[in-house]
Amino acid sequence: MNVRLIIYTSVFFLQGQVLWAQSTNAEFVGTYADGYGDNPVTELSLMNDGSFRLKSPDPIFPYTHIHYENTGNWTKKGNEITLNPGKKPRKREIELIEKNTGTLDSITIKINYSIKVFENEQFTSESSFDFDQMTLYLNNGRRHYNLVRHQIRRGCMFSSQVKNQIIVDSRNRFKIAKVEVKKLSIITYGFDDPYELVVSNPGSNYFEINIVQPVDKERAPRSKKVRIIDGVAYFYERNGKVDISWMANGLAKKNK
């Protein structure tokens, strides 16, 4: 009899926990999307059972225009929800190598970029990757260079032109005039903000920057934060934080 009582109590407790979770999640449950008509750019569906479905462009390399679809679980705290809270964000590896080759009039900079691929939480491969565009800042950031593989010209009147372009060679190298370098900062696709590299010898004239970018093959979100305010899900980030400014493009909740 006592065993039956314990079992019944446990079942009722678990059912109560599920009902409580569903009631607290109810205000956020629904589908949120941007874009136009039946072709949203990003679509996020939050289910009452704490699961989600996400359709979104590649979060690392958006210029490829490839979309991914993922499912998982979500939790909430206040007006902030977290997609896949059990998955920690992956950290990229960046290393600076500096030398003094004796050249007096120029500096050579080489970028070694590779991607480390994971599938189903398991490491599968690592290979070199031709970055599409990267911005390099010198010292205080006033002097910068946009590293490209070919000259970029934008014909759209609403798109800003890419200034200070430098075309890297087949080995991802380029040269600039000799200056004293105390700090290098880089940013490219997949970075939240510029990553700073402190130079130990300002007189160095050869630098190699090694970048290893981890990516999940399925592009599943990892502890991704989303803010939901007045029926709008703010999904996109700026400088590593969810952008809820007046300029932010949110995902509007669809009518049932």
State the pLDDT at residue 192.
86
Judge whether residue 39 has pLDDT over 90. Answer: no
Are the CB atoms for 95 and 242 separated by under 8 Å? no
Residue 243 pLDDT greater than 70, yes or no: yes
Cα atoms in the Cβ-side hemisphere of radius 13 Å centred on 49? 5
> Any idea what the CATH number is for the domain that residue 71 is in?
2.40.128
Coil, helix or strand at residue 60: coil
In this structure, are 174 and 228 located in the same domain? no
Q: Name the more confident of 4 and 116.
A: 116
- The verdict on 121 and 206 lying in the same domain is yes
Q: Look at residue 93 and tell me whether its pLDDT is greater than 60.
A: yes
- In this predicted structure, the answer to whether residue 21 has a pLDDT above a threshold of 80 is no
Instruction: List 128's β-bridge partners, or say none.
Output: 114
Asked if residue 73 and residue 13 are part of one domain, the reply reads: yes
**pTM of the prediction?**
0.82
State the pLDDT at residue 205.
Answer: 93
For residue 161, is pLDDT > 90? no
* Per-chain mean pLDDT for the chain: 88
> Given phi > 0 = left and psi -120 to 50 = alpha, else beta, which region is 190?
left
Q: Is the domain of 110 the same as that of 205?
A: yes
pLDDT score of 239 more than 90: no
Residue in 79, 109, 238 with CA at minimum distance from that of residue 173: 109
Side-chain half-sphere exposure of 185, counting CA atoms within 13 A:
14
- Same domain, yes or no: 134 and 156: yes
106 and 192 within one domain: yes
Lowest mean pLDDT among 18-27, 106-115, 168-177: 18-27
Q: Are residues 199 and 228 in the same domain?
A: no
pLDDT score of 24: 61
Q: Which of 44-58, 124-138, 236-250 has the lowest mean pLDDT?
A: 236-250
- CATH number, domain of 98, equals 2.60.40
Residues 103 and 151 in one domain: yes
Asked if the model's pLDDT at residue 22 lies above 70, the reply is no
Mean pLDDT of 197-202: 94
The number of folded domains in the chain is 2
Contact 225, 238 (CB under 8 A): no
Tell me the pLDDT band of 101, cut-offs 50, 70 and 90.
Answer: confident
Length of the chain: 256
Is 199 found in the same domain as 102?
A: yes
What residue numbers bound the domain in which 29 lies? 2-87+220-253
CA distances from 181 to 34, 173, 203 (A): 43, 17, 7
Q: Are residues 166 and 132 in the same domain?
A: yes
Q: How many CB atoms lie within 10 A of CB 156?
A: 6
Confidence of residue 117 (pLDDT cuts 50, 70, 90): very high
- Please provide the distance, in angstroms rounded to a whole number, between the alpha carbons at the two ends of the chain: 47
pLDDT of 158 strictly over 60:
no
Same domain, 201 and 118: yes
Residues 126 and 148 in one domain: yes
